[in-house]
């Protein structure tokens, strides 16, 4: 009998956004059951969250460390299998490392850490522990992102020439970060967010998607990081030129001051024979354009999908699957890997390290006068 895996959560108290998403994603397919948590350092908030989630009050812990200790002390088969870390960025590394060392698998919100050095420390801890480390590069969980990736890899478009990725939001158009919005506040605080503001929060998603789908590695970049809102301490707008191995050229645009935009992550890849376009806000459609024949609209659940795409779908064509389902695919892949299933995939250590190196190269380039900065990664995927 396939038992649901047991999950403990760090962060995600009432009012937080991403914690609730992790919980829905984990619950969706019955692979996970949330049984423990250290949701908030505010005792009342912590207790209320646990109560609302129907947890046993004894497994709602006052601190992350307390959770690790108490859970590790439980008999095998009753303790948690993994922790989900959904705190601000600066806590990712210490928590992940502690959990890995305590023998738990870790599924962590992105970015991996607030510096490349921290990220490497996580990588080493994961390596040493033999535990899985998953990272919520959610957008790679969309079925049609997998379809896009597989088609590029199969050579449908010939050699790739162009990669264009953009991620436009508008929610930081005003200085809400200094006016009490918690989400905005920590994301624009270098101590809690790290080197990049918009860059770390959504630029990393864009970069990850571009490399993940194109199968290419950016060799060098030229960046322009900007702070548009007076008083803000981290970039709220990012532009970059990219040069990929093999000669492809790329552009990356990410902004949190594109007023009126929602969550506009869009990827386009063009090769010798045609190109593809995928947009997160209509995630069930993948447009393919061709030199010599009409464009095709590949649809979730429709004809023409690769087998790996179909496995990520839950409903027939025309029944929209969304963000929570994409997220659920990561949790499903993570569970499958823990269970040792063949072919299980989820974004992890290599994806995290790569994006941390990207952030550091972007920040370095933007501060200087040189046109190109290499993107170097110590650990290969």
Which of 62, 117, 153, 297 touches its own copies by CB under 8 A? Answer: 297
The least CB distance from residue 232 to its own copies, in Å, is: 12
Q: Is 302 in the site for its own copies (CB under 8 A)?
A: yes
Q: Is 141 helix (H, G, I), strand (E, B) or coil?
A: helix
Q: How far apart are CA 130 and CA 26, in angstroms?
A: 22
The least CB distance from residue 294 to its own copies, in Å, is: 4
Q: Is 260 in the site for its own copies (CB under 8 A)?
A: yes
Q: How far apart are CA 340 and CA 211, in angstroms?
A: 26
Q: Is 51 in the site for its own copies (CB under 8 A)?
A: yes
- Could you write out the DSSP letters of every residue in 160-209? EEEEEEEEE--TTSS-GGGTT-HHHHHHT-HHHH-S-SHIIIIIHHHHHH
Other C-beta atoms lying within 10 Å of the C-beta of residue 310 = 13
Among candidates 159, 138, 124, 158, which has minimal Cα distance to 86? 138
Q: Is 283 in the site for its own copies (CB under 8 A)?
A: yes
Angle at which helix 143-154 crosses helix 323-338, to 10 degrees, equals: 70
User: According to CB under 8 A, which residues from 80 to 99 bind its own copies?
Assistant: none
Q: Is 273 in the site for its own copies (CB under 8 A)?
A: yes
The least CB distance from residue 327 to its own copies, in Å, is: 9
Q: How far apart are CA 7 and CA 137, in angstroms?
A: 19
Q: Is 306 in the site for its own copies (CB under 8 A)?
A: no
Q: Is 245 in the site for its own copies (CB under 8 A)?
A: no
The least CB distance from residue 52 to its own copies, in Å, is: 6
Q: Is 251 in the site for its own copies (CB under 8 A)?
A: yes
Range 117-136 burial, b when 16+ CB lie within 10 A, else e: ebbbbbbebbeebebbbbbb
* Residue with smaller CB distance to its own copies, 73 or 293: 293
Among candidates 244, 254, 249, which has minimal Cα distance to 270? 249
Which region, judged by CB under 8 A, interacts with its own copies, from 81-89, 92-100, 252-260, 356-364? 252-260
Which region, judged by CB under 8 A, interacts with its own copies, from 62-70, 129-137, 313-321, 348-356? 313-321
Which region, judged by CB under 8 A, interacts with its own copies, from 65-73, 88-96, 97-105, 258-266? 258-266
Q: Is 253 in the site for its own copies (CB under 8 A)?
A: yes
Respond yes or no on whether the N-terminal peptide bond of residue 229 is cis (omega within 30° of 0). no
Q: Is 292 in the site for its own copies (CB under 8 A)?
A: yes
* Residue 228 · residue 129 · CB < 8 Å: no
Which of 13, 134, 203, 264 touches its own copies by CB under 8 A? Answer: 264
User: According to CB under 8 A, which residues from 196 to 235 bind its own copies?
Assistant: 222, 224, 226, 228
Q: How far apart are CA 216 and CA 163, in angstroms?
A: 9
* Contact string (CB under 8 A) for its own copies, positions 133-162, x = contact: ------------------------x---xx
* Residue with smaller CB distance to its own copies, 80 or 257: 257
Which of 101, 191, 319, 339 touches its own copies by CB under 8 A? Answer: 319
Which region, judged by CB under 8 A, interacts with its own copies, from 105-113, 191-199, 293-301, 329-337? 293-301
Which region, judged by CB under 8 A, interacts with its own copies, from 21-29, 37-45, 97-105, 127-135? 21-29
Residue count, binding to its own copies (CB under 8 A): 95
Which region, judged by CB under 8 A, interacts with its own copies, from 75-83, 98-106, 199-207, 273-281? 273-281
* Residue with smaller CB distance to its own copies, 96 or 328: 328
Q: Is 112 helix (H, G, I), strand (E, B) or coil?
A: coil
77: alpha, beta or left, given left = phi > 0 and alpha = psi -120 to 50?
left
Burial class (CB in 10 A: 0-12, 13-18, 19+), 245: exposed
Cα separations in angstroms, 258 against 152, 170, 171, 197, 229: 30, 4, 8, 15, 12
Helix (H) or strand (E) holding 236: none
């Amino acid at each position: 009998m396939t038992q649901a895996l047991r999950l403990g959560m760090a962060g995600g108290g009432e009012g937080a956004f991403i914690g609730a998403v992790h919980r829905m994603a984990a619950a969706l397919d019955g692979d996970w059951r949330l049984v423990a948590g250290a949701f908030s350092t505010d005792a009342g908030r912590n207790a209320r969250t646990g109560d609302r989630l129907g947890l046993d009050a004894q497994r709602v812990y006052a601190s992350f460390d307390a959770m690790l200790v108490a859970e590790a002390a439980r008999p095998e088969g009753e303790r948690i299998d993994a922790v989900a870390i959904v705190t601000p960025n600066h806590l990712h590394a210490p928590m992940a490392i502690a959990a890995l060392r305590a023998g738990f698998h870790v599924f962590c919100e992105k970015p991996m850490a607030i510096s490349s050095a921290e990220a490497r420390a996580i990588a080493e801890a994961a390596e040493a522990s033999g535990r899985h480390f998953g990272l919520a590069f959610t957008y790679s969980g969309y079925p049609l992102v997998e379809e896009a990736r597989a088609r590029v890899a199969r050579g449908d478009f010939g050699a790739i020439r162009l990669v264009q990725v953009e991620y436009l939001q508008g929610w930081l158009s005003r200085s809400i970060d200094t006016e009490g919005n918690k989400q905005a506040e920590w994301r624009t605080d270098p101590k809690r967010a790290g080197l990049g503001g918009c860059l770390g929060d959504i630029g990393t998603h864009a970069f990850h998607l571009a490399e993940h789908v194109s199968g290419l590695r950016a060799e060098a970049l030229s960046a322009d990081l900007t702070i548009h809102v007076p008083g803000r301490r981290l970039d709220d707008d990012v532009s970059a030129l990219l040069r990929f191995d093999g000669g492809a050229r790329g552009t990356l645009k990410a902004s949190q001051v594109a007023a009126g935009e929602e969550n506009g992550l869009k990827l386009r890849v063009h090769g010798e024979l045609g190109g593809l376009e995928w947009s997160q806000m209509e995630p069930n459609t993948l447009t393919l354009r061709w030199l010599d024949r009409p464009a095709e609209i590949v649809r979730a659940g429709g004809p023409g999908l690769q087998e790996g795409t179909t496995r990520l779908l839950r409903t027939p064509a025309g029944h929209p699957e969304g963000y929570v389902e994409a997220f659920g695919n990561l949790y499903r892949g993570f569970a499958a890997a823990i269970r040792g299933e063949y072919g299980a995939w989820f974004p992890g250590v290599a994806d995290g390290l790569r994006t941390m190196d990207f952030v550091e190269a972007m920040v370095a380039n933007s501060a200087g006068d040189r046109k190109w900065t290499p993107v170097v990664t110590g650990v290969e995927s």
